[in-house]
Structure 1
Amino acid sequence: MIPLTKFLEVSSASHILYVFEDKRYYIENLISYIKAGIERDHHLLIIENPTIYNEAERMISELFSNEQQKRIHYVDNRSFYGYHRDFHVHSIVEHFDKILEPFFKDNNIIRTWAHVEWKKQDGISSKIEEFENLADCSVDEMGIMSVCAYTASDITASLQNTLMRSHEYLMTDKEFVRSTFYGIPLHNKPFMS
């Protein structure tokens, strides 16, 4: 068990779904996550949109030394998820693995935080579901802690329920619980038949 933040502990290989509504709480939670990682000498890969990251970066520069800031690695989420092109699941997973590879070669512990965003496109829910299922396997294999953040207004209740099947934990702006759907396969038949 390792700390997620100052107050929460999870297993070292944890896949966390964060559905957020309030940007202020979101940034506070991101900073808490970074702080917990820095305190443990972890590296942090933050995949975030530039607007939110710029706000967080002001706090990062106030809270952390230049040496600590070298362990925080930023990637623009819109280019990462192909915001200007198709949300191509396998390319995203391969790119993620390539970004993390140098950290593992140097025996560094890394935790990730990814704000998942996409352009409007057909079949996006099934692409996100496939992506998160693959990501869950990768997180487990790599033994890393990974937060996948989604803006609540961007996902349907149905998609959130599906995402809870591939994330061991569910986090909101103010709550953190174990996902009751984690690991339960999605059936294509009605429940009552």
Structure 2
Amino acid sequence: MMELVPELMKNLKQTNGGHIFYPYGNVESYLSNAISFIVTAVKNGDHVMFVENDRNLLHINKMLKKQLSHDELAKVHIMNNFDFYYSNGNFHPHTVLNYFLTNIAPYHEAGASICTWGLIEWGNDQEIHNEIAEYKSKLNQYILHNGVISVCAYDARRTPESLKKLLMECHGVLLTDKEFRFLE
């Protein structure tokens, strides 16, 4: 499984980036894939904006310290996912997209390549589904225009089928715990 993410990233680097939907089913696989994503990106010379919950960050940080040097760790920019997606108190696609762009702008302006990973967690509120789809659609345009590799991860058990369907429509790649496939 450790070769899954590096292989996907290699393919996407050759095609100028990609927007990845990752509905994970197993937390251990998820953590392994997240660590593999960060390590692969940093070893390729990329910066990583990593948006994750505090619970998972404890384990991920511990593993990263074993695999990356101090200078390499400086290329990993970690943000709490609740703070990121709800920076203004609630989820609004335009606000979240602007927050995302503001956070990666310094790296792009410096000519650095950046990869992103975001764990999205919220309830089953049907009203938010369309807002999520709107945000993902706008983000997808940015990613494809700028050659970014971006993973959007969701707990498959907590993601309603209707939302999964919307997300499949606005991502170019489906990643699972064990495989990936291109959707376009």
TM-score of the two chains, using structure 1 as the length reference: 0.86
Q: 2:119 matched to 1:95? A: no
Does residue 5 (structure 1) correspond to residue 5 (structure 2)? The answer is yes
Which segments of 5 or more consecutive residues in structure 2 lack a partner in the other structure?
none
Q: Which moved more, 1:99-108 or 1:133-142?
A: 133-142
Matched residue of 1:6: which SS? helix
Does the alignment pair 1:143 with 2:147? Answer: yes
1:65 counterpart = 2:75: no
Please tell me whether residue 130 in structure 1 is matched to residue 151 in structure 2.
Answer: no
Superposition TM-score, scaled by structure 2 size: 0.90
Q: Show structure 1 runs of 5+ residues with no match.
A: 183-193
- Structure 1 distance, partners of 2:23, 2:180, is 10
- Answering whether residue 43 of structure 2 is matched by residue 39 of structure 1, we say yes
Provide the residue aligned with 2:34 in structure 1.
Answer: 30
Equivalent residue of 1:123, what SS? helix
Equivalent of residue 25 in structure 2, options 21, 26, 36: 21
The structure showing larger relative contact order (alpha-carbon pairs under 8 Å, at least 6 residues apart) is 2
Tell me if the contact between 2:124 and 2:160 (Cα under 8 Å) persists in the aligned partners. Answer: no
Query: 1:53 pairs with 30, 52, 57, which one?
Result: 57
Match of 2:122 in 1: 118
Aligned residues: CA RMSD: 1.8
Q: C-alpha separation between the residues in 2 aligned to 1:57 and 1:132?
A: 27
- Identical residues among aligned pairs (%): 28
**How many pairs does the alignment contain?**
178
1:5 deviates by 3.3
Partner of 2:171: 167
Structure 2 distance, partners of 1:123, 1:155, is 14
The structure having more radius of gyration, on CA atoms, is 1
In 2 relative to 1, CA 103–84 (structure 1 residues): closer, same or farther, beyond 3 Å? closer
